[in-house]
A and B are shown apart, each in its own frame.
Chain A
Amino acid sequence: MFEVRGLKYKYPNAQDYAVDGIDFEIRQGEIFGFLGPSGAGKSTTQKILIKLLKDYQGEILYRGKKLTEYSDEFYQDIGVSFEMPISFSKLTAMENLEFFRRLYKETVDVEPLLRRVGLWEDRHKKTGEYSKGMKIRLNFVRALLNNPKMLFLDEPTNGIDPVNGKIMKDMIREFRAQGGTVFLTSHIMSDVDELCDRVAFIVNGKIREVDSPRNLKLKYGKRVVRVEYRENGNVVSKEFTMEEIKTPAFFELLKTKDIETLHSGETTLEDIFIKVTGVALHG
């Protein structure tokens, strides 16, 4: 869907590049997570991909054609859900959607979408009276309004309660199942882990890792199984390598001891984020 080669971007009057020679691709039909600490270049990259920032170096191809060769009609193809609420506060949700709906050639019926995200009953309320979570859900509906082929989602579940968060994640998965492609940035690593087919970690404008969450966990995790059992009133912990769990010693332990917990050494995406980005080092 997108091919990015040698992308560099420096803001006017800035000394350093915000994005410093990155390469990656977003494949059609995948959910691509773009992760990194604040100021790493995530938002800048997203703004370049959605044609808000133009004076970049390098090459970006969208569906095989240079992004610079697309006119504003490019926006017929994409939907963008920003992190912050973006609606006109004195207009109702329906008035907001109606205004934006008229700017596109192809649009969808908003009723099923609004019902799904729980805003149908409040559709005639001014969005200024909406809670933050409601505004973010409306952003999401707004992004889907033009039946896009590609979605850019910036922190789509931030500030949303778990029930609505799950609904939105289901909708994102359904969008992918119907052939849609998603570029997702989020700080909620559990969401990224649940949703993304591949993730890229960006630090100081450079990409450090691009792979599937599974492969990253294999790469950064410990290939061990940790067993905790009780012995003489104390909790004892013992680690076995993947080779050792095939040995009689491991099975003997399981049979003879009072096992309390059994964990694999698989790491979390959050730990990988900290390792790759060095956020923990900076406190």
Chain B
Amino acid sequence: MAKLGILVQGELDRLRKYNLFTATTVVLLLWVGMTWLLEAGEVTAFVPLILLMDSTMMSSLLVGATLFYEKKEHAINSILVTPVPETEYIAAKIIVSVFNSLLTFLALAATAYFLKGVTFNFALVAAAVVVITAFHALLGIWFAFFSKNFSSLLVNLMLYIIFLMLPPVLADLGIIGEKIARFFIILPPDAAGTMLQAGFATVPLGRLIFGFVYLLALSAALYKYIVLPGFNQYAMRETGV
């Protein structure tokens, strides 16, 4: 893992140079501003929602965006012929995504605490943000493998969110019964929502533990069976094969 630090530093530099960091900072400032404007009671509902969006959709999009510009500029070729294992290259992308999500978490937590006097289980939410982001960063890499361009990636991610978030919403509206709704925790966005919610309200311990174990297991499987084997093929396609 000797090169990991260099790769992470490189990723962060490029996020800054390609203005992706600016874009995420602007969005973050918007969330901070909105948190500041809300009542203390509303903050506990708003913050987990924003963290959910940031750790899922935003993480997938950010990692997808970096892969697309590297693809466009053939930069993956150049990295693949350096003494950097693919595992470290992928790990660097996940670490940077987690770092960005934790920045959002810290900014929102600080705003909630210092400006609104709202406290929540900071450690639990931070842990949830790490696990949810890691899974969705891997998901973003996988989606980039088969998305033709950034717009196609965006559409695929929207479909993922809509289809997997729709059942819990229908359950909340009473359209789907409680018996079936209990199993929606196997949908990653629902598991993620449960994990984040646990920092702000009481959530059954079993569901919380299941959420963490489930997303960790899914991340490991996604990495081992899809992202790592698929990465070489993706990179080769990018080199014109």
Q: Which residues in A have some Cβ–Cβ distance to B below 8 Å?
A: 11-12, 43-44, 47, 50, 52-54, 72-76, 78, 80, 82, 84-91, 95, 99-100, 102-105, 142
- The answer to whether A87 and B83 have CB atoms under 8 Å apart is no
- The answer to whether A78 and B81 have CB atoms under 8 Å apart is yes
- The answer to whether A85 and B13 have CB atoms under 8 Å apart is no
User: Binary interface profile of B, 226-241, with partner A (CB < 8 Å = 1, else 0)?
Assistant: 0000001101100111
Q: Tell me which of A44, A85, A88 contacts B14 (CB under 8 A).
A: A88
Q: Tell me which of B6, B17, B82, B83 contacts A90 (CB under 8 A).
A: B17
B178 interface hit (Cβ, 8 Å)? no
- Residues in chain A near residue B81, CB distance under 8 A: 50, 52, 75, 78, 80
Bin chain B's interface residue count. Answer: 20 to 34
Closest 6 CB pairs of A and B: A90-B17, A86-B78, A80-B81, A75-B83, A103-B82, A86-B74
CA distance A107 to B240 in the complex (A): 29
**A52-B236, A86-B77, A87-B73 known; A100-B82 Cβ under 8 A:** yes
- Residues in chain B near residue A103, CB distance under 8 A: 3, 6, 82-84
- The answer to whether A85 and B18 have CB atoms under 8 Å apart is no
- The answer to whether B74 and A43 have CB atoms under 8 Å apart is no
- The answer to whether B73 and A88 have CB atoms under 8 Å apart is yes
**A88-B75, A103-B3 known; A43-B10 Cβ under 8 A:** no
CA distance A104 to B6 in the complex (A): 11
- The answer to whether B14 and A91 have CB atoms under 8 Å apart is yes
Q: Tell me which of B3, B14, B75 contacts A86 (CB under 8 A).
A: B75
**A54-B232, A82-B77, A103-B3 known; A91-B82 Cβ under 8 A:** no
CA distance A18 to B57 in the complex (A): 40
- Residues in chain B near residue A11, CB distance under 8 A: 241
Residue of B nearest to A126 (CB): B17
CA distance A90 to B69 in the complex (A): 10
CA distance A100 to B70 in the complex (A): 14
A62 to chain B, nearest CB (A): 14
- The answer to whether B74 and A72 have CB atoms under 8 Å apart is no
